[in-house]
Structures are given as C-alpha cells and as structure tokens.
Amino acid sequence: MAVPKKKTSKSRRDMRRAHAALVPVFGGECQTCGEKKRPHHVCPVCGHYNKRPVLKDSRVSE
C-alpha cells in the first residue's frame, strides 16, 4: 500500500485546491423587468422568457 514519505504542507495542499473554489453564477438581467436572472431560464420575478410572457405575473396581487 502506498504511504506518503513526508507530510504535505498546508501551503502545498491549499495550492492544489486553489482552482476548486465555487464561483457565483450570474447570467444577466431580464429584458423586461431588469432583475437578475440565470441564462436560458424564465425570469422568477416577472415570468418572461425572451420578452414573451410565459408564467403568470407573480408580483400582481388579485
């Protein structure tokens, strides 16, 4: 069984993991209401996709 000869330092361990950080996902803003939304998804605020209403407007109370 393979056993490391020397202890891996914290610096070397952290340098190896440097690229594994999570990055925030932000696609852009909705063309209708201007709120932030993910790319290729329906806007969660106004319910539009590609300037067309897809879902019922959730902000309007009836």
pLDDT tens digits along 29-52? 999 999 999 999 999 999 999 989
Q: What residues contact 49, with CB distance under 8 A and at least 6 apart?
A: 41, 42, 43
The domain tally of the chain equals: 1
- The answer as to whether 7 is a domain residue is no
Show the domain range for 59.
24-62
Q: What is the rounded average pLDDT for all residues in the chain?
A: 87
- The answer as to whether 6 is a domain residue is no
Predicted model pTM: 0.51
- The answer as to whether 14 is a domain residue is no
- The answer as to whether 5 is a domain residue is no
**Predicted local confidence at residue 25, as pLDDT:** 77
Sign of the CA dihedral 44, 30, 55, 38?
negative
Which residue would you say has higher pLDDT here, 15 or 1? 15
- The answer as to whether 58 is a domain residue is yes
46 exposed, middle or buried (CB, 10 Å; 0-12, 13-18, 19+)? buried
- The answer as to whether 31 is a domain residue is yes
- Can you say whether residue 60 is alpha, beta or left, with left for phi > 0 and alpha for psi between -120 and 50 degrees? beta
- The answer as to whether 53 is a domain residue is yes
Strand partners, 52: 49
Give the mean pLDDT of 1-11. 94
